[in-house]
Structure 1
Amino acid sequence: MIYPENFEYKIGFDKIRQLIADKCLSPLGIEKTEEMSFLSDYDIIKKQLAQTNEFVRIIQEEDNFPTNYFFDVRPSLKNIRVEGTWLDENALFDLRRSLQTIADIVSFLNKEDDDNSPYPHLKALAGNVITFPELIKKIDSILDKFGRIRDNASPELSRIRREIHQTSGSISRTLNSILRAAQSEGLVEKDVTPTMRDGRLVIPVAPAFKRKLKGIVHDESATGKTVFIEPSEVVEANNRIRELENEEKREIVRILTAITDVVRPSVPDIIQSYEFLALIDFIRAKAKFSLDINAIVPNIENKQQIIWEKAKHPLLYLSHKKQQKEVVPLDIYLDSENRILIISGPNAGGKSVCLKTVGLLQYMLQCGIPIPLYETSKVGIFDDIFIDIGDEQSIENDLSTYSSHLTNMKYFVRNCNTKSILLIDEFGGGTEPQIGGAIAESLLKRFNEKEAFGVITTHYQNLKHFANENKGVINGAMLYDRHQMQPLFKLSIGNPGSSFAIEIARKIGLPEDVISEASEIVGSDYINMDKYLQDIVRDKRYWETKRQNIRKKEKRLEEITSGYESDLVSIEKQRKEILAKAKQEAERLIAETNAKIENTIRTIKEAQAEKEKTKLVRQELNKFKDSLSENNAVIDNKIQQKIEKLKNRDKKKKDKQDSVKSKKEETISIGDSVRIKGQTSIGEVMDIQGKNVVVAFGMIKTNTKLELLEYVSRNQIKRENKQSGIVVSQAREQINEKKLNFKLDLDVRGMRGEEALQAVMYYIDDAIQIGASRVRILHGTGTGILRQLIRDYLRTVPNIKNYQDEHVQFGGAGITVVDIE
């Protein structure tokens, strides 16, 4: 239930409705926008929000959604209910194009099966929609692509148009002959050509020569300097043209009447299909509007709650966006513990905007429209929204402002319940403050007893006290900057706000003696209380700022720590790479040195200790040694020593392990884990008879010799299992990554045959690996060589269930659709 009747106007929803209507493509969608209303059914609201959200994704992710021809032909269809009436060419052409759009949308939404459909809620809308392929084909046989009746729409029309063409050609030839003769006689100027008057071909002639050209004068120019004569030689032919044109019109009417007789029985189904087109137009408009205001579908629960973070008034957001200004977002929390929020604060501080934001966003949500707030927000559903904003004076009904407020309050008290939300601005205002505040407090008590929800703005101190002292009601304040003397438009929940009346009076320049006297009148208690409220707000802002700064510093510290850790990992990696390279270089130098020494020794031996030869060889060796720098030699020496130590340590460790293993082999007992030397499978010893051992590998038992077995420790088993798990995990991650990045279309147009075939082979392998059921390969038509080459390969792949040309509407022979088992 919504109260009062002008609720939409008061919160600004009428402007939202108009903005959505402006985004519709046809009157079909505009009608749905006008029918949009407040809903309280949780399932319907959730479904409508899901439909809009799916269309947002279509707009963001799809390029081929059909939106070309959203025509409303319903008025024309209603006019053909009577036998003998017909659709004109324009209406028939609009009908054909809009029916094709409906068919294309249904095809788009049904392109995936139910389990894989990315748009399940929109697909459900398309489930029972009737398309009319035969009717479209029938209309195509009559109309061409420009919406004109085809010459071959009937044999009679073909004959008539052929005769018109022949007769027109004969008239043109005769006129041109007469015109040339008249030009040669000087009756007509050289640049004059035949023209059309009243549907008849005529020759423009100067009035002085009109008697010299036999024929009928049909018209003259506005200046009277030209007359248009139809030569007598073509009068009969022009008359025949007129007769043929009338025959053509009668034949076209006959053709349109015949096709209308075909359309008429399907009119109820067509109108039902237009209902689907209207819904799609409406949902699309809501999605476009949602993108304009950065709206989302929040976490919606079937209970009464308002847990909003960074909510924005959409109209204010759009207005500020044009001015390149930021909107201060609203954080508000109402739940079963704190149901009614009493907002206080200075005038023009944003209390009413806060109230209207709550009303507008909740109303939009329950009309199936996404709303602008953070994803972490939670929203609920209310059965009733009651609002009391603005001056409702009425001369006709003899109502004052206060009387109208009390009338609304009477309605609220009678009708509110646990599923209602009340939005009341300046609660208790409009009358003498003491009695107004008392009545407001009494009403607030009733609202709280009925466990209604609400957002209420006020300046009354007694209502602030009531919120502090009663469970279910909580104070809130619109913050104000005392130093800058300007509102911050930010809601703070938990404490009441000050009206800052004295500060604002000083700011606008009210005399100080007036302010002092006013302060004395209200008393020190009131002034002190207002001061305390200001101090509380100031302190809260101070600590809130402190807390935000600490959070920023903590976040920065986390980033720095993370960066250091990343740098340490990188440095360690670089250190290992440098050591590995140094080791390789050392080994290379050692190998080269050893080779040089061996070569020198062999040369000396071959020279059979010939002194000169030996001397030369030694000189060459010395040159090689000198070519190594002193630093490299030192590094070489150190690295070599390190390598030798590592080798010795590894050798000792290996010898120790071998010793332990050999020792263990001698003492292998029943229950130990073992493997056959050189194998990877691990089994359990079941029985030992001398040198013969019975080992169980899973369910299989085998007899083998003791010396063929090696003992496997528990640590080894854990290590191997972990390694196996890592391998499996890595493989699974690779497949998941492929699934995320895999596209259902492969475009090989423009590639050479070998290059395209290689790409197709990799693509099909990936498709089989991730479990794709259907893919498309775009190869173009061209000469057909690329298409044949790809299909020859597909024929050899055992996992390919079927392949064929794509539907002619989506590419035909230029695309191969592949079904995979």
Structure 2
Amino acid sequence: MIAERALKTLEFDKVREQVSDFCTSSLGKQQIEQLVPEPNFEKVVELLEEMDEGLAILRVKGHVPMGGIFDIRPHTKRAQIGGMLSAMELMEISSTIRASRILRNFIEDIENDEEIQIPHFIERKNNMPILTAVQHEIDHCIDENGTVLDSASVELRSIRQQLRSEEAKVRQKLDSLTRGPNAAKMLSDTIVTIRNDRYVIPVKQEYRSYYGGIVHDQSSSGQTLFIEPESVVQINNEIQRLKVREKAEIEKILLALTEKVQEVANDLFELVKILADIDVILAKAKYGVAQKCSKPSVNNEGYIRLIQARHPLIPMDVAVPNTIEFGREYTAIVITGPNTGGKTVTLKTVGLCTLMAQAGIPIPALDGSELSVFSQVFADIGDEQSIEQSLSTFSSHMVNIVDILKHFDENSLILFDELGAGTDPQEGAALAISILDEVVDKGARVMATTHYPELKAYAYNRKGVINASVEFDIETLSPTYRLLIGVPGRSNAFEISKRLGLKDSIINQAKSYTGTDRREVESMIASLEESRRRAEQEVEEAHEILEEAQQLHAQLEEKLSAFNEKKESLEQKAKEEARKIIEDAKKEAEHIIKELREMQQNANQVIKDHEIIEAKKRLEDALPAENPILKKQAKIRERAQNLQPGDEVKVLSYGQKGTLIEKVSDNEWVVQIGILKMKMDESDLEYVKPEKEKQRITLTTVKNRNSHVKLELDLRGERLEDAIMKTEKYLDDALLANYSRVTIIHGKGTGALRQGIQEYLKKHKRVRSFRYGEAGEGGLGVTVVELK
């Protein structure tokens, strides 16, 4: 257990207050008030892991449903000893059970999310008692305002119905009196009110005898009497009797519900504990988010490394962060420097961060910080900064130090502020050195601040001890609060005095009074400080260059990755296009070869030379051309070989058609365009097929027949038998004409013709498929047929 004195000295209670502000229930606040650092290493690891899970939940989900939780432990304890719970207390129990169910469902949802791992929360969720049945029984009888519902029992509903009926009667009678002819004169106000749980009307003093009945109250002036008229006394009596019955029935219901609570009292205590634990964990996490804290790693080797740590009780925009490391090569730090320079704040920062980590609270430092788990933390820190400290102050400090030296061990963290101060400087320095020797020899971790120059040399000569100082800006005459480890503090009295206007002669005379050794030490310290500042500047510049190089490297990698992805994509696309071109070429070639074979089989028919030449040209065109220039040259050569006098051509440069008259040279033709005749280069001519040759080459027996076969067959008005005959003939003609799709128009009508035609199409061997027409094709009135 960490000593209470250290907690108070380091103001750990103020950190607890800040954390408790983030609790959502009184349960969590009470637990935070009793929070103390854990000395057990395994327990500290668990606490920090739980808190880190809370941070992860807040980062992913943003919030955790923790509303509706009450401290129901007093209610549960009273139920255990046989007391009757009130409706409001039962409502709080129901609300707490409901809150636990909502929280359990929330954690179960996260449990299925692979993005976040929360084993400690899942374990607590699994340990939550399920008390839904008790909650439902309470909710059936009591509403969220703590009122017993009519539905709580059949008897209560009956009583309340009678009660409402009687109340309506008495109000009706009293309302008739307030609306009577004499009401305005005899009543102080025409209203019905209640006194002593009985309905009354306000009657003027002088008309008391007119209404008779019972006087229950009077106004402060005595001029108005609140009278229960005789006509409603019996009804009011009945109302009171029903209210007594209602109260008894409510007590019966509450006792029954209290027994239910009594049966699950132990489960309720366990549930409250789990909810309080979760509230505390989330409060720590919320505090960490608000204060920009991080989870430190921990060890049990006495090693401390705080990266840019701030004092948690100083506002973020004011606190100066410092990096502090010790516990391995050196186990003690001696900090020297001027007053108000931040030495005490540094001690408290290390002490408070250690206590916070051991309590499972995130620390105000950057990621990567590491702290040790100590069995004891001791602090001798005084707030007084005067150089005129009295003997009593020295004595009180020494009493505390003596107590520390009695109880510390090698697993302790000790913080000394102004060690040995308040007495003769020579004796004080000697005591300080002796005390540090005692602590360092036992292996404890220690930080001490001092004014004594003797301790600067001690830190240089003593193994395991290092000097440190708080930086002071001579230009502004103010501390920077930056901790410089490895450099002792030096006196700035001469520099400050000079800046403030003290004569140089006085300063030089003062310097002459100081010893040579002292001046050499001060000069050495000044040189160390300058070297340190220069090294820090160089490190910062190197860090900036490294960051720029890393950014440039990342950008180049990203661009290279994007280039490779685009390259692969284009290569894949090119391969697909090439494959498609080759497949299309193969299909076209096969089709042309089939036609040429048909021509060969039908050699006895008349086939013109240009038809064979055209088929050959199509076959050559089917080959994929890799070079468009070569392909163009091939076309030019092809045109030169195939052109003959009388052929119709297109003059490319003019965009006009003409007829070849004669060839006058190897590459020139005389072309007649209209009434003009001119010489044209062969490369500027393109062969144009005559209209009669533009149809696909087929068997001579069906040559030109396709020009008479329409793309649609109109059967509207036909009988089914005639329509099927016409459809059969039409499909044969369409197949001979090499049509791949035709349209049959049958109209909508009764649908008999359409159905008969489609039944026939189903059985036709050369029909690939058929469908109704689209909106722009005729809809249900046509059938579009795909042919094989």
TM-score by length of 2: 0.69
Q: How does 1:479-558 map to 2 (within 5 A)?
A: 479-507=471-499, 515-516=507-508, 518-557=510-549
* Structure 2 CA distance for partners of 1:595 and 1:90, relative to 1, 3 Å: farther
Counterpart-to-counterpart distance in 2, 1:448 and 1:456: 12
**Aligned AA (1:306):** I
Deviation, 1:384, is 1.9
Partner of 1:8: 7
Q: How does 1:221-620 map to 2 (within 5 A)?
A: 221-222=219-220, 226-316=224-314, 319=315, 321=316, 325-390=317-382, 400-507=392-499, 515-516=507-508, 518-557=510-549, 559=551, 606-607=647-648, 609-610=660-661, 614-616=671-673
**Aligned AA (1:460):** Y
Deviation, 1:72, is 0.8
Q: How does 1:145-160 map to 2 (within 5 A)?
A: 145-160=144-159
**Aligned AA (1:238):** N
- Is residue 297–residue 371 contact of structure 1 (8 Å, CA) maintained in 2? yes
**Aligned AA (2:139):** D
**Aligned AA (1:614):** V
Deviation, 1:595, is 7.2
- Is residue 305–residue 381 contact of structure 1 (8 Å, CA) maintained in 2? no
Counterpart-to-counterpart distance in 2, 1:554 and 1:282: 42
Deviates more, 1:592-601 or 1:296-305: 592-601
1:202 aligned residue (191, 197, 200)? 200
Deviation, 1:411, is 3.4
Counterpart-to-counterpart distance in 2, 1:340 and 1:211: 98
**Aligned AA (2:442):** K
- Is residue 341–residue 475 contact of structure 1 (8 Å, CA) maintained in 2? yes
**Aligned AA (2:248):** R
- Is residue 344–residue 499 contact of structure 1 (8 Å, CA) maintained in 2? no
**Aligned AA (2:332):** I
Deviation, 1:308, is 1.7
Deviation, 1:125, is 2.8
Task: Find out whether 1:95 has 2:146 as its counterpart.
Answer: no
Counterpart-to-counterpart distance in 1, 2:294 and 2:678: 84
Aligned residue for 1:127, secondary structure, equals: helix
CA-atom RMSD in angstroms: 4.0
* Structure 2 CA distance for partners of 1:98 and 1:557, relative to 1, 3 Å: closer
Counterpart-to-counterpart distance in 2, 1:479 and 1:217: 87
- Is residue 308–residue 321 contact of structure 2 (8 Å, CA) maintained in 1? yes
Counterpart-to-counterpart distance in 1, 2:214 and 2:437: 97
* Structure 2 CA distance for partners of 1:77 and 1:599, relative to 1, 3 Å: same
Give CA-to-partner distance per residue, 1:307-334, whole Å, 9 cap, x none: 1211111111xx2x4xxx2532111111
- Is residue 498–residue 533 contact of structure 1 (8 Å, CA) maintained in 2? yes
Counterpart-to-counterpart distance in 1, 2:11 and 2:682: 95
For the pair shown, which has the larger CA radius of gyration, 1 or 2?
2
Counterpart-to-counterpart distance in 2, 1:621 and 1:326: 92
Instruction: Tell me how many residue pairs correspond in the alignment.
Output: 612
- Is residue 349–residue 488 contact of structure 1 (8 Å, CA) maintained in 2? yes
- Is residue 420–residue 428 contact of structure 2 (8 Å, CA) maintained in 1? yes
Aligned residue for 1:79, secondary structure, equals: helix
Structure 1 unmatched ranges of 5 or more: 627-821
Structure 2 unmatched ranges of 5 or more: 579-623, 649-658, 663-668, 686-788
Aligned residue for 1:203, secondary structure, equals: strand
Counterpart-to-counterpart distance in 2, 1:86 and 1:621: 119
* Structure 2 CA distance for partners of 1:100 and 1:493, relative to 1, 3 Å: same
**Aligned AA (2:18):** L
Deviation, 1:473, is 0.8
Give CA-to-partner distance per residue, 1:440-486, whole Å, 9 cap, x none: 11222222222221111122222111211222111112122222222
Aligned residue for 1:390, secondary structure, equals: coil
Give CA-to-partner distance per residue, 1:63-104, whole Å, 9 cap, x none: 673311220121222233444x30001111101111222333
* Structure 2 CA distance for partners of 1:616 and 1:433, relative to 1, 3 Å: farther
- Identity of paired residues, percent? 30
- Is residue 143–residue 150 contact of structure 1 (8 Å, CA) maintained in 2? yes
Counterpart-to-counterpart distance in 2, 1:158 and 1:473: 82
Counterpart-to-counterpart distance in 2, 1:578 and 1:30: 64
- Is residue 670–residue 678 contact of structure 2 (8 Å, CA) maintained in 1? no
Counterpart-to-counterpart distance in 2, 1:620 and 1:404: 125
Counterpart-to-counterpart distance in 1, 2:182 and 2:240: 28
Deviation, 1:550, is 3.4
Counterpart-to-counterpart distance in 1, 2:28 and 2:505: 63
* Structure 2 CA distance for partners of 1:173 and 1:510, relative to 1, 3 Å: farther
Deviates more, 1:23-32 or 1:292-301: 23-32
Deviation, 1:259, is 1.9
**Aligned AA (1:129):** M
Deviates more, 1:155-164 or 1:258-267: 258-267
* Structure 2 CA distance for partners of 1:508 and 1:89, relative to 1, 3 Å: farther
Deviates more, 1:564-573 or 1:207-216: 564-573
Counterpart-to-counterpart distance in 1, 2:678 and 2:343: 99
Counterpart-to-counterpart distance in 1, 2:295 and 2:450: 32
* Structure 2 CA distance for partners of 1:27 and 1:619, relative to 1, 3 Å: farther
Aligned residue for 1:314, secondary structure, equals: coil
Counterpart-to-counterpart distance in 1, 2:61 and 2:557: 42
Partner of 1:70: 69
- Is residue 364–residue 371 contact of structure 1 (8 Å, CA) maintained in 2? yes
**Aligned AA (1:90):** M
